[in-house]
């Protein structure tokens, strides 16, 4: 088994395991707190961490299979976009969210898996094994678009159910102006990560050409 396939399998196994365990313990906690199943599912799938890690699992699956249904996840721009997005997840959690709650048991294990291990594994996998050299700075708006859609979805749902996935999006406590400013700051941060990913992609592309 070559290194590419091995790291793909490792990433898939760890990512899928983290998501499944997080789903089980989260649903148990939500239901125990009095939520119904639709409400619990809605809350779970509102988290950016969960959605981005699901995409990583689909990217790994697209690498291991030939099904055309996963063709989207083979595109260089999608794989590069996710390198920037999952790096943002890790950075945001480390510098902001980890100070806001104390986790233990499986919640702590899943926290480390989905916020630190899977991001690190994916960025290494992308840099080492993805096809490089096709991205341009003009791709940044397209790379930012899914996160904008997520923001609009999270805000619309929050206005409806009066609940937000992250403190920086909590319009009830912060007001919409501050939330908008927070979104601008996060967009700038993600944009800078996208620039870094694109520049790295261009450099790695030249190396791939040089080494045949």
pLDDT of residue 136 exceeding 80, the answer is yes
Q: What is the DSSP letter of 166?
A: S
pLDDT of residue 1 exceeding 80, the answer is no
Q: Could you tell me the pLDDT band of residue 197, with boundaries at 50, 70 and 90?
A: very high
Cβ-based neighbours of 51, under 8 Å, separated by 6 or more:
45, 150
3-class state of residue 96 by DSSP: coil
Among 128, 43, 37, 51, smallest CA distance to 82 is for 51
φ, ψ dihedrals at 119, nearest 5°:
-60, -45
pLDDT of residue 84 exceeding 70, the answer is yes
Q: Do the Cβ atoms of 19 and 51 come closer than 8 Å?
A: no
pLDDT of residue 42: 96
- Measured CA distances, 1 to 6, 7, 8, 45, 74 (Å): 6, 10, 11, 35, 21
Q: Could you tell me the pLDDT band of residue 75, with boundaries at 50, 70 and 90?
A: very high
List, as own/partner pairs, every contact residues 189-192 make where C-beta atoms lie below 8 angstroms and the sequence separation is at least 24, other chains included.
189/88, 189/91, 190/84, 190/85, 190/88, 190/144, 190/147, 191/140, 191/144
Q: Could you tell me the pLDDT band of residue 133, with boundaries at 50, 70 and 90?
A: very high
Q: Do the Cβ atoms of 182 and 168 come closer than 8 Å?
A: yes
- Mean pLDDT for the stretch of residues 115-131: 97
pLDDT of residue 100: 85
- Mean pLDDT for the stretch of residues 46-68: 97
- Mean pLDDT for the stretch of residues 113-126: 98
> End-to-end alpha-carbon separation of the chain, Å?
22
Q: Could you tell me the pLDDT band of residue 98, with boundaries at 50, 70 and 90?
A: confident
- Mean pLDDT for the stretch of residues 82-88: 98
pLDDT of residue 207 exceeding 90, the answer is no
pTM exceeds 0.85, yes or no: yes
Range of the domain at 54: 3-210
- Mean pLDDT for the stretch of residues 204-211: 82
pLDDT of residue 210 exceeding 80, the answer is no
pLDDT of residue 192: 98
The count of structural domains within the chain is: 1
Q: From CA 20, how far away is CA 210, in angstroms rounded?
A: 41
């Amino acid at each position: 088994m070559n290194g590419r396939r091995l790291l793909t399998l490792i990433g898939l196994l760890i990512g899928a395991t983290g998501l499944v365990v997080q789903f089980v313990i989260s649903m148990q906690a939500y239901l125990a707190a009095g939520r119904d199943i639709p409400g619990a599912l809605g809350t779970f799938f509102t988290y950016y961490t969960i959605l981005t890690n699901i995409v990583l699992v689909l990217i790994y699956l697209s690498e291991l299979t030939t099904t055309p249904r996963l063709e989207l996840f083979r595109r260089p721009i999608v794989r590069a976009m996710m390198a920037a997005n999952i790096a943002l997840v890790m950075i945001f959690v480390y510098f902001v969210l980890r100070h806001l709650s104390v986790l233990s048991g499986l919640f702590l294990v899943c926290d480390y898996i989905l916020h630190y291990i899977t991001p690190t594994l994916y960025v290494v996998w992308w840099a080492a094994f993805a096809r490089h050299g096709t991205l341009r700075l003009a791709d940044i708006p397209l790379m930012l678009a899914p996160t904008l859609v997520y923001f609009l979805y999270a805000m619309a749902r929050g206005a409806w159910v009066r609940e937000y996935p992250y403190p920086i999006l909590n319009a009830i406590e912060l007001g919409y102006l501050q939330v908008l400013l927070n979104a601008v700051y996060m967009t700038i941060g993600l944009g800078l990560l996208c620039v870094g990913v694109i520049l790295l992609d261009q450099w790695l592309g030249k190396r791939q050409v040089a080494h045949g």
